[in-house]
Amino acid sequence: MTTAQETRPNTLRWWALGLIALAQFMVIMDTSIIGVALPRMRDALGFTPSTLSWVFNAYVIAFGGLLLLGGRLSDLFGARRLFAAGWAILLAGSVLAGAAGNVPVELAGRVVQGAGAALIAPSALTLLMMLFGSNPKELTKALALYGAAAPAGGTAGVFLGGVITEYLSWPWVFYLNVPIALLALFATRAVLPGGAAGTRGAVDVLGALTVTLGLGTLVYGIVRAPEAGWAAAETWIALGAGFVLLAGFVVRQAKARTPLMRLSIFRAPRLGAANLAQVFLGAAWIPMWFFLNLYLQQVLGFRAFPAGAALLPMTALIMLGMIALAPRVIGRFGPKPPIVAGLLLLAAGLGWLALVRADGSFWVDVLPASLVAALGMSLAFIPSLSTAISAARPEEGGLASGIVNTGYQVGSALGLAVMTALAAASGAGALGDPAALTSGYSVAFVGSAAIALVGAGLAALTFRRR
């Protein structure tokens, strides 16, 4: 009896990793699956070119803003319990988003989905550390598989989004989550370790609301600026309120007895540098993915299914790089060189994409450049993720997971907001005019390349070798 109890977790560990990887797969798929469906959603629900990015941003802001709360709750009440709760909330949000008949309901569904993902992501990483943290060799392997689930989710999202939008209808990009969430809820109790919940304590709900509202207000101001005008009172009020709320969050975390994010955690060597790299990765990568989808459909004239299939080579290369290449490079050179090299390659690929033409082709204008960007992403993502998680104390695994996920999602939201504003000001809102659209998208690619270059420079300066 004792032997069976001792060996049961070992025999189920890799099944548990599969479920944890599924969580990462779904969290990322829910950001990418809507990309191909965006033009249909715009026509069906009445989005404008400048508000369309909120289908993505509503999810990412709720996700990124509530991740720290999710990490704290995971540490306090048990990772498995929060993992299951997150799946239930994601399921409810998916039903709401799929059934939406107007813009407000659609965005509300996306916010609920993001809140569910904010519980799933940090608890999943905590569970992974519980299962594999005692064996560094197995941990590197587990993190590589977990990291590869992100581009796999991106690949599946782009491809399935194309298939579903082309042959069913756009609401099914959300309804697809329902059976997967039910399966995950059933498997959670069967394969994941229960573990004892941490010491119960206060939860800084006000801090979570402050950072979420601050991020949302800041993104709103940036996205709204091209229409309202950068000098308009509305723009400055939104931007000012966003900065004040985010500054208030930091002040509160410094003074609160039980902060949502203990600021002294950043004293851990390389934790801040690794999280900064994740911020810049999200800020450069997500705008590229967003505008590449629009370029394929609005300029090159791809239908939904071919547009999804066109991005498969890029995401397949990311998966291969994360599983086969990144762990070997980390083992030989440590985390700093691949992070810096990866961000530089990502910048090169984005700079190449900026040369897209209104009368271009997938084979010349998209495929080669997207593969260079994908190789860069695959090199930089895993070392920055693993460094950020392993730098914290074991009892703060949920917080560290929440911080690194927050960094990536916050970078994604702010990067997309800024690039949407720049693209709109350069012609990206001129539907039906391929030359103007291409000009706007090209500006977004140039801006994203600049972000990746800055990220590479900061990583080179801030990462300690030991």
pLDDT attached to residue 169? 86
Give the pLDDT score at 198. 54
Q: What is the pLDDT of residue 315?
A: 78
Predicted confidence at residue 240, as pLDDT, reads 92
Per-residue pLDDT of the chain (466 residues; tens, 9 = 90+): 333 333 445 667 878 888 998 888 888 788 778 877 888 888 888 887 667 778 887 888 888 778 778 877 887 788 888 999 999 999 999 999 999 988 899 999 999 999 998 899 888 878 887 888 777 777 777 877 777 777 677 667 777 888 888 888 889 989 999 999 999 999 988 888 765 555 556 677 788 788 878 888 887 787 777 777 778 888 899 889 989 998 998 898 888 777 777 777 777 677 788 889 999 998 999 889 888 888 998 899 888 778 778 888 887 888 788 878 888 888 888 889 999 999 999 999 999 999 999 999 999 999 999 999 999 998 998 888 888 877 666 666 666 766 777 788 778 878 887 888 888 888 887 777 899 999 999 999 999 999 999 999 999 998 865 5
Tokens of 88: 């239930």
